[in-house]
Amino acid sequence: MWSGSKDKALRERAAEVIPNGMYGHMSTVLMPEDYPQFFTRAEGTRIWDADGNCYIDYMCAYGPNLLGYGRSEVMDAVRKQQAKSDTTPGPAPVMVELAEAMVAMISHADWAMFCKNGSDATMMALMIARAYRGKRKVLVAKNAYHGAMPWNTPRPAGTLPEDRAHVITFDYNDTDSLADAVREAGDDLAGIFAAPFRHDTFADQSLPDAEYARTARKLCDERDALLIVDDVRAGLRVTRDCSWETVGVRPDLSAWGKVLGNGQPISSLVGNDRARKAAGEIFVTGSFWFSAVPMAAALATLKIVNSTDYLERMQDIGDTFRAGLCAQANDYGFALRHTGPSTLPMVLFEEDPDLRVGYGFCREAMQRGVYFSPYHNMFINAAMTEQDIAETLEATGAAFEAIKRSRNSLKPSAALAALMGG
Ligand SMILES: Cc1ncc(COP(=O)(O)O)c(C=O)c1O
């Protein structure tokens, strides 16, 4: 029987010593009622909360878990490097090996730099684009998330209009809107940020239109500006290369993070020779950016990526999950929109404008051992098996049954309503 008393006690203590009890994307304030905030263990496809409840995890730490928590080859590499060195006055040789591996794997890449978070990598991309020809304007698709720095954090508190004075937005997949934004930038265009596909929160996902991607490339070439693909979230779940290889368009820069070390803290910006000089001009660094252990983890992760069928298995599992969930929804009289690549699925209910049905469904699934998000795209990992999907569908069947019964009494999330209203 599910229980959340230890998590509740931890939240109460946290509220005393952590602003709002938690912050950032891991705060459960927007999650359905009773979602656990704290986790004590993770292994393979499973996570355990502070009360000992076990879940099949469809959020994968919001992306980093690509191969299964605690994947043995990665953890062996971590232990081996830890026994030698980690954070020292200079990087370990593994940094060169990892840069070589990134350049070998990513078609448009001639060089690589490493940092900690996706936001570091997108910030470097912004700075390199501006340093490239001394231009200021950067174009970003409306509602696309590229990190939590003052120039792009989704909530304005603590930032100034000046922080994004030179950011111009356009509609994703809309070539006319993109061309208008380029016109607005005039002769001051530094670069265009492209999401690999549209993966905004609270919305259906859409794959990139090849014509739109080619237009972005052409506009950058005409204006001598840099094209940037932000693969921080989608990287290595779409292809073993930059995600825009799927539409035949090569950017100048691509940002990576999350999956690179299968959970160890490392991110990267890679670029082509056109951007090399500007990359060498900006000053960016961090106390832990050169630590060797996450680099060893990333090298071990990339070895698995390049030598196994992890991606094809993840795609098969994702397809099985998608087909099973949609059929089940249909059987229970619900219509789902299950959008985006099946390895990063977004699941929303039809006729559910305030998401109360989705919230009710996720809460019922959570209490039966399946951890979903009602408003963020989810993540499949390569450790997932047919058995995991069968167990998931058993729980979701019962969850559909429960919300069918309680449909008329489901309430909208107050926190979500406050966010949307404000
Ligand atoms: C597309 C994208 N870019 C950048 C980021 C920022 O990455 P991080 O949270 O590691 O700073 C994220 C994080 O979710 C992301 O999804």
Query: pLDDT tens digits, residue range 285-307?
Result: 999 999 999 999 999 999 999 99
- Res. 1 pLDDT band, cuts 50 70 90: confident
CA distance 238 to 197: 10
The one-character DSSP state at 329 is H
Between 415 and 320, the more confident residue is: 320
- Res. 35 pLDDT band, cuts 50 70 90: very high
- Going from N- to C-terminal start, the domains of the chain cover 5-62+309-421, 72-307
Residue whose entry in the numeric block shows the structure tokens 């879940």: 55
- pLDDT reading at 342 higher than 70: yes
Range from 69-83, 119-133, 205-219, 403-417 carrying the lowest mean pLDDT: 403-417
Taking the mean position of all CA atoms in its chain, how far away is CA 393? 24
- pLDDT reading at 17 higher than 70: yes
pLDDT recorded at residue 420: 83
Domain 5-62+309-421 has CATH 3.40.50.970: no
Return the exposure string of 14-23: e unless at least 16 CB atoms fall within 10 Å of the residue's CB, then b. Answer: eeeeeeebbe
User: What is the distance in A from the centroid of ligand 1 to the CA of 344?
Assistant: 14
pLDDT recorded at residue 132: 98
- pLDDT reading at 206 higher than 90: yes
117 CB near ligand 1 (under 6 Å): yes
> Which of 62, 256, 258, 375 should be mutated for ligand 1, with most atoms under 8 A from CB?
258
Provide, rounded to the nearest whole percent, the portion of the chain with pLDDT above 70. 100
- pLDDT reading at 422 higher than 90: no
Range from 40-54, 96-110, 355-369, 402-416 carrying the lowest mean pLDDT: 402-416
8 Å CB contact between 326 and 339: no
Residue whose entry in the numeric block shows the structure tokens 């999401």: 195
pLDDT in tens, 76-94: 999 999 999 999 999 999 9
Residue whose entry in the numeric block shows the structure tokens 């599910």: 2
122 CB near ligand 1 (under 6 Å): yes
User: What is the distance in A from the centroid of ligand 1 to the CA of 267?
Assistant: 10
Question: Which CATH architecture group holds 72-307?
Answer: 3-Layer(aba) Sandwich (3.40)
> Which of 140, 232, 267 should be mutated for ligand 1, with most atoms under 8 A from CB?
232
197 CB near ligand 1 (under 6 Å): no
Look at the pTM and tell me if it is higher than 0.85.
yes
CA distance 83 to 375: 41
> Which of 116, 124, 146, 346 should be mutated for ligand 1, with most atoms under 8 A from CB?
146
Average per-residue pLDDT for the chain: 97
119 CB near ligand 1 (under 6 Å): yes
CA distance 370 to 398: 11
pLDDT recorded at residue 265: 98
CA distance 322 to 315: 10
Beta bridge partners of 141: 170
